[in-house]
Every structure is written in C-alpha cells, then in structure tokens.
Amino acid sequence: YYPDNIDALEDLGANIVFISPLNETSIPKVHAIYMGGGFPETHAPQLAKNEGFRKELKKLSQKGLPIYAECGGLIFLGQSIRLNHTNYPMSGILPIKFGLSKRPQGHGYTKVEVVNENPFFKAGETLRGHEFRYSSILNIDYQDSEMAFRMERGKGILDKKDGFFKNNTFGTYTHIHALGAPSWAPSLIKKAKAYKASL
C-alpha cells in the first residue's frame, strides 16, 4: 500500500481498520474495503483454508459493499489460482481463474482511459499507475461493459482492458497512487457513505 493512499482516505474522514484474510476468520463491520497488492500465490493454501473469510467477502460484495482491489487483491476476488497443478479457491466474486508464470506478465508504468461507467471513476478520466505481476489469466468470463479501463500503456487484465467490476466491487492490475488518481479517494468515501446509509 502507498501510505499516501491511506492518508488520502483518512484526510476525507475515513476511520481505517486493518484486516488480514490470513489471520481473521470474519470481517468487521466496515463500509468499504480497499485491498492492495501483494503476492497471494505465496499464501494460497492459507487463503484457501480461510473459507469463512472468503465466503463472507463474497456475501458482502453481493450486498453492495464497495470493494476496491489491486493486483494481489484482484487475484483474491477471483475464482481460483493454480499453482503446481493444484487449484486454490479464492473468494469467487469475479469470474477469473488465475495461473502463475515464471516471468513477469506485466511490468512497468500504466496509463489508462476510463471508457465505461463504473463505481469509482467517471468515463473520460485518464489515470496513471503501475503494474507488476507474475500471475496470468487462465480463464475469464466478462462483457466489454464490465471492464472500466482501456490501457493506453501497460497490459491490464486481458486485451488491453483492465478494471473489472461487478456491483460495487472493482478489481484491477493497475496500482494507482492517490495523487495520480485524485478522484479515487473521494469516490471510495462517497460509496462508503452511501453503503452505510443503506444499512
């Protein structure tokens, strides 16, 4: 996580609660979740065993909890990750099955244009970030309208597309910095307030 991203949320009034899908079996009462990057493949067996957390995250996503996930967070939103001929289940929110390659599948700065309306960004926005991943897409089921980004620079999820979203759940390979995506923090806060008001 960029500390500046956490600071940007706090500056807008967020009370940050840190949650670990490795160590906790349930999710506290929060109004949005920001899942940063990392390498879930190094913890795949432990993540797969934490069935209670995975199922609760999926249920909350279906209820409309705003979830914003980057890279490793995107993998955790998927159906599974395949390592050494073994499939490890993830949360099953997005219809993607991941694998792992020996070489980076995406590496460097990204520039994206927001081309489809989505929970967090307005169509027409341009965002800058970076991607670094060894994971690969083994299988994916999506409509073009469910991908928010067109990659002007970088690889994204598939075919120069990134930012897969369903309901208020959003997963992307692009890591953004709050200063390079000034609308991100206000949008996440706005969604969190709306979700809180709906309870």
Instruction: Write out the catalytic residue numbers.
Output: 71
Read off the tokens for 118: 């989505």
SS3 content of the chain, % helix, strand, coil (to 5): 30, 30, 40
How many CB atoms lie under 10 A from the CB of residue 122?
A: 10
Residue located via tokens 């079996």: 25
Q: Lay out the sheet containing 161-166: strands in order across.
A: 33-35, 67-70, 169-172, 161-166, 147-153, 106-114, 126-133, 175-176
